[in-house]
Amino acid sequence: MAESWSSFDLHLDWRPGDGRRALADALRRAIRDGRLPPGSTVPSTRVLAKDLGMARGTVTRIYADLTAEGYLYTSQGAPTKVTTRGGPALAPPKEGIGPRAAPWVPDVRWDFYPGRPDLSSFPRTAWLSASRRVLHEAPASVFDYSDAYGPIVLRRALAHYLARSRGVVADPERIVVCGGFKHALTTLGRVLADRGEIAFEDPSLPEFRAAATHGGARVTGVPVDEHGIRVSELDSPVVVVTPAHQYPLGVTLAPQRRTALARWASETGGLVIEDDYDGEFRFDREPVGALQALAPERIIYAGTVSKTLSPALGIGWLVLPRALVEPVRAALSESGWRTPMLDHLVLADLLTSGVYERHVRQRRAAYRKRRDRLLAALPAGFTPGGISAGLHVVLGFTGVGEAEAIATLLRHSVAVDGLGRHWLGEHRRPGLVVGYATPAEHAFGPALDALVTALREISP
């Protein structure tokens, strides 16, 4: 039986004469409140235009906007429906324009908050196929209590992948699989607490500094310039660095600084924790190899799938110096951590089959196109930084304060991060950290338009 729908079947809280924007807001409210539940069919543009006495072209533009925002889903030859996955309709109702994509992101329509990939790009079909293979082939023991450092099949797959793609000196017995980089830092903070303090790049992500502190370590900062961390100013037994694409400034650790940092670790007995942030996403030249290869017994290598696949998986890994393998394993066991075995086996399947690397290559090409579109659209008055790699760009500007700039963006329903909160010391130049990978592919164009409109208001 064919589905039919009339606008008179639903109270839209809209009156003739309220206009196009008011009708779009009324439809959003109906979806968020559950009066139009996920998967329900909405009227055709012809039917709704006739019911409400509006021009069909006006309704068509409204549907296009709601589709770009993730409220509606269209397919050629099929009726338009309320989205059933990944869009605003799945979130609990809340005040404002739309639901938050993550707890720390303001309640806005256009999300450029950094730190996440395009979640709509998750390879659902490949993950489902690998899951079926794993469930079909895995022995019953995979459903038992797991160990605290990851199944050997994943550690072997990671050893081959990291050696091939990032130049990491890795064997499976040196690899510990954890719940992401924040989990890794908390664990390392416990293991290394007796060494006194852990140095972080200044600026760096405050959430990661807090994770190390939670583990029991004290935290200090070391300045970063256009060549990366200033190794000559390092005076701590342990340091955390992001050499491939420094977060948030986006600089790459210069070759002479890489050599100096490895020498510092070897000569002083210090430890380097290498967060290979954005290591897979270099656009303008060949990827920079992992720092860990310069001193495998003094440098801890850390990676995750948070930017390549999804942060929701909660999968990361450490490649450890041999002396730290047992202490880290013991700390994980004592914390009660148990690995999500099935997800780990699925990731191992994607790594060994080559599917994971193909997905990374595809995303690298897609994110490069986004970066190029963003740079081409930037209005005068903004200086982009960190553009050679990664999933974010830092915009420097003058004339207004950082807080005022962010407030202007929020008035346009655009979320970005500010550079100010990342500093440890007094050097606090303003900047906007824009995560251009975050919007869904279908929404990137409208989101970019909104961002540029707001930026023009900040720097006319």
366, 427: one domain: yes
Query: Per the domain annotation, does 109 fall within a domain?
Result: no
Predicted local distance difference test score (pLDDT) of residue 117: 95
Query: Per the domain annotation, does 16 fall within a domain?
Result: yes
pLDDT 10s digits, 94-119 = 333 344 456 667 778 899 999 999 99
320, 336: one domain: yes
Residue 343 pLDDT more than 90?
Answer: yes
Residue 451 pLDDT level (bands cut at 50, 70, 90): very high
Q: Could you tell me which residue, 335 or 258, shows the higher pLDDT?
A: 258
343, 369: one domain: no
CATH number of the domain bearing residue 80: 1.10.10.10
192, 322: one domain: yes
- CA 90, CA 88: separation in Å to the nearest integer? 5
Phi/psi at 223 (nearest 5 deg)? Answer: -60, 150
87, 172: one domain: no
Query: Per the domain annotation, does 277 fall within a domain?
Result: yes
Q: How many Å is the maximal CA-CA distance in the chain?
A: 79
**What's the chain's average pLDDT?**
87
208, 320: one domain: yes
Half-sphere exposure of 103 (CA within 13 A, CB side): 0
Tell me if the pTM is above 0.75: yes
CATH number of the domain bearing residue 381: 3.90.1150.10
Phi/psi at 174 (nearest 5 deg)? Answer: -95, 0
Distance of CA 301 to CAs 131, 174, 322, Å? 28, 10, 12
216, 319: one domain: yes
* Domain span including residue 264: 124-356
372 C-beta neighbours (distance < 10 Å), count: 12
Tally of domains in the chain: 3
CATH number of the domain bearing residue 191: 3.40.640.10
Query: Per the domain annotation, does 177 fall within a domain?
Result: yes
Please name which of 188, 185, 192 lies closest in space to residue 211, comparing C-alpha atoms.
185
| Residue 438 near residue 414, CB atoms below 8 Å | no
Please name which of 301, 309, 291 lies closest in space to residue 254, comparing C-alpha atoms.
291
Predicted local distance difference test score (pLDDT) of residue 409: 94
Tell me which residue has tokens 């990671």: 158
Query: Per the domain annotation, does 449 fall within a domain?
Result: yes
447, 398: one domain: yes
Peptide bond into 248 cis (omega under 30): yes
Measured at the CA of 430, the angle between CA 428 and CA 431, to 5 degrees, comes to 125
| Residue 351 near residue 429, CB atoms below 8 Å | no
Predicted local distance difference test score (pLDDT) of residue 91: 38
Phi/psi at 136 (nearest 5 deg)? Answer: -75, -35
Residue 142 pLDDT level (bands cut at 50, 70, 90): confident
Domain stops at, among 356, 384, 403 = 356
Query: Per the domain annotation, does 113 fall within a domain?
Result: no
| Residue 332 near residue 149, CB atoms below 8 Å | yes
163, 286: one domain: yes
Say what percent of the chain tops pLDDT 90: 60
Tell me which residue has tokens 């897609």: 366
Domain stops at, among 321, 356, 391 = 356
Give me the residues paired with residue 198 across strands: 219, 238
**Mode of pairing for the β-strands spanning 316-319 and 238-241:** unpaired
| Residue 125 near residue 116, CB atoms below 8 Å | no
Predicted local distance difference test score (pLDDT) of residue 460: 64
Residue 66 pLDDT level (bands cut at 50, 70, 90): confident
Query: Per the domain annotation, does 2 fall within a domain?
Result: no
Domain stops at, among 309, 339, 356 = 356
Phi/psi at 319 (nearest 5 deg)? Answer: -105, 115
384, 268: one domain: no
Query: Per the domain annotation, does 102 fall within a domain?
Result: no
pLDDT 10s digits, 51-65 = 777 888 888 888 877
pLDDT 10s digits, 264-291 = 999 999 999 999 988 889 887 777 889 9
284, 138: one domain: yes
293, 365: one domain: no
Predicted local distance difference test score (pLDDT) of residue 97: 39
Predicted local distance difference test score (pLDDT) of residue 23: 82
